[in-house]
A and B are shown apart, each in its own frame.
Chain A
Amino acid sequence: MAAASVEIGSGEAALRDVANAHQPPAWGRWLLWAFVLAVAANFAWIAAHNPHFGWPIVGQWFTEASILRGLGVTLGLTVVAMTLGTALGLVLAIARMSKDRLFGSLSGLFIWFFRGTPLLVQLIFWYNLSTLFPEIVLKIPFGPVLASWNTNDLITPMTAAIAGLSLNEAAYMAEIIRGGLLSVDKGQVEATDAFGMTRARALRRVIIPQAMRSIVPPTGNQLISMIKATSLVSVIAMADLLYSVQNVYNRTFEVIPMLMVAVIWYLIITSILNVVQGFIERYYARGERGTGGADKAPVRVEEPA
C-alpha cells in the first residue's frame, strides 16, 4: 500500500502512462518464423523440382474430360448421400430421444448396426444384394404381394453407392444431431411447452436453430470425410474422381502424377467447404455476441448453481 501512496511527478506520470507503451521486439519469434518459412520454401522447391511428381503430366490431366466427369460424380454423390444421410439422421435422432420405447429402440438398433460395421463392407453388401435377395418384394407380412422387382435391376453401382453412403452417414449424423439437441438448455424446451407449441414447431423454430451451433462443426467434419469416403465406391466400379484417376494410371503407369491430380482436387473442394462452414457458423451464432443496438454494456446473466 505504501507504493500506491507515493506522489508521482507529472513528468513521471506521462512516462508511466500505458498509452505510450511499446512492444519490445520479440527476436525469438522472428527467428522461428524465418526458420519455418525457410523449411517450407525448401520443401516446396524440392517438390517442384522432383521429376517423379511429374508436374507437367499433372497439368495436362488436371482438367481432362474423364477426370472432370469423375469429379462431378464425387461431388454429386457427396451432395446426395449427405442430404439423405442428414435427413434420415434427423429422424433417427428425434426417434432416439422420444419417450416412445419402440421408436427409441429401432433407432438405436439402426445406429448400432451401421456404425458398427465398416463402410467398405456395407458398400460391397449393397452391391451384391442380389445374391442374398434375388427379388425385392413389397407385401403385407404373411399376406399378399403388392409389388416385386428384380434386385439386379434396382441395384446399379449408383444406387448401391447412394444406399451405402447415406445409410452409413445417417447413423453418424443421428448421433451428431442428438448431441446438438441435448446441448440446448432445458428451459427452452419448457418455454415452448408452456406456450403450447407443438413438438414439430418447437423443434423447427426454437430447438434446432439453437442446436445448430453445436451441430455445424462436426457436420462440416462429416462432409469432408464423406467427400473422401466416396472414393471407396471405386471398389464397386463407380466412376468417381479416384476411379477415373486410377483408370488413367492403369494405362499410363503415371501413378504419382495422377494421384496428385486427385489430391489437388480433393484439397480444393475441402478448402471451399471450410469457407462455407465459416459463414454458416457465423449465421447460427447470431444473438451470441456483439452489442449492436444496445446502449448499455451487455450483462451476462449467470446461472445460479
Chain B
Amino acid sequence: MSKAAEGAAPMVRARNVHKSFGPNEVLKGIDLDVAPGEVVVVLGPSGSGKSTFLRCINHLESIQRGFIEVDGEQIGYALRGNRLNRLSDHAIAVQRRKIGMVFQQFNLYPHMTALENVVEAPIGVHGQPRGEAQAYAMELLARVGLAEKANAYPRQLSGGQQQRVAIARALAIRPKLMLFDEPTSALDPELVGEVLSVMRDLARQGLTMIVVTHEIGFAREAADRVVFMDGGVVVEQGPPQAVLGNPQHPRTRLFLSRFIEKV
C-alpha cells in the first residue's frame, strides 16, 4: 500500500459478501478493503468468483449477505434509523455515477463514434456542457493514444483500440474508483500490450483501481496488492512480490505454476 495513505477511510469496504446463482454459491464470504489510490489486482482461476465480485461492487449483481461500501456509502441499500432499506433503481444509478467500469467485451455503443461514446455519460448523466465534455474527451482520447480516431465508429477500430476508447469513456466521468473486468481477455495477443500500458499509466497517476485479470505480468508491475481468489473466497493476498514470488497457499502455487508453464 505504498501510494495509499495509511489510516485513510477505505474507498471500498466489503464484508462477508455472499452471492449465489440459484443453488450455486459463487461468493462465500469475501472481505476486502481497498484504500484510496490503491491498485488491487484480483487473480484466480475461471469460476473463482472474481468477476462476479467485481460486478457486485457497482451492483450489476446483487449480493445475498454482507455489505459493500464505496466511498463511505453502502451500495444498493440505505440505513434509515435501524432499518436497512433497499434503494430504488434511480438511487442505485446515482451511486454508480462515481464508479467507472471497463468490460471484457468493451461494450462500446456501436452506433456512436469514439468521441460520442466518451461524451455520452458526461453530457447525458452528469449534465456537463457539451463543449467542456468534448474538450475533456479529446484530452482522454489523446491520453490513450487515439486522438486521431475520435470520429471512427467502434467497428472500424481494432479490439485494442476499442478497449482504449472504453477506458477513456470510463475515465470521462472522473470516477473515484475504476473497475476492470478482464479487460484484455477478449483481445488478440498482440493487442494486449497497448491496453495494459494505458492501464499502467493510470495506476501510476494514483487512480483507485480494482483489476480482474489473468495478466500476471501486469499484476507484478502495477499492483500495490494482489488478491488471489479461488472457490469463492480470498485465498491469499499481499504485495505482488510476496503473493507471486513466494505464495503461501498450495492453491496459489498450483495456479501460478500452471500459468508459468503456459508462458
Contact = CB atoms under 8 A, between A and B. Distances in A.
A206 to B, nearest CB: 5
A289 B186 contact: no
* 8 smallest beta-carbon distances between A and B, as pairs: A294-B156, A287-B153, A196-B97, A196-B96, A191-B107, A187-B107, A194-B101, A196-B93
Nearest to B162: A301
Interface string A151-175: 0000000000000000000000000
A5 interface: no
Nearest to A212: B111
A188 B107 contact: yes
A56 interface: no
A250 interface: no
A30 interface: no
Contacts of B186: 301, 303-304
Nearest to A292: B156
Given A187-B103, A188-B107, A188-B109, A197 B125 contact: yes
Interface in B131-160: 149, 151-159
B96 A193 contact: yes
A301 B157 CA distance: 9
Interface in A272-305: 284, 286-294, 296, 298-301, 303-304
A301 B111 contact: no
B107 A293 contact: no
A195 B90 contact: no
A198 interface: yes
Contacts of A206: 109, 120
B93 A197 contact: yes
Q: Sort chain B's interface into a size bin.
A: 35 or more
Interface in B100-120: 101, 103, 105-113, 120
Contacts of B5: none
Contacts of A287: 110-113, 153-155
B242 interface: no
Contact of A288 (B152, B155, B159): B155
B173 A301 contact: no
Given A188-B107, A190-B60, A291-B156, 7 more contacts: A191-B107, A195-B120, A199-B89, A210-B109, A210-B110, A289-B155, A294-B156
A22 to B, nearest CB: 36
B121 interface: yes
Contacts of A54: none
Given A187-B105, A287-B153, A196 B110 contact: no
A108 interface: no
A287 B110 CA distance: 6
A66 B120 CA distance: 52
A203 to B, nearest CB: 12
A296 B125 CA distance: 33
12 contacts: A185-B107, A195-B125, A196-B93, A196-B97, A205-B120, A206-B120, A209-B111, A287-B111, A294-B156, A298-B157, A301-B105, A301-B186
B151 A194 contact: no
Contacts of A300: 155
Contacts of B149: 293-294
B111 A296 contact: no
A157 to B, nearest CB: 43
Nearest to B106: A301
A19 to B, nearest CB: 29
B95 interface: yes
A198 B93 contact: yes
Contacts of B153: 286-287, 293
B52 interface: no
A185 B106 CA distance: 12
Contacts of A197: 93, 121, 124-125
Instruction: Count chain B CB atoms within 10 A of each CB in A187, A206, A287 and give the residue with the most.
Output: A287
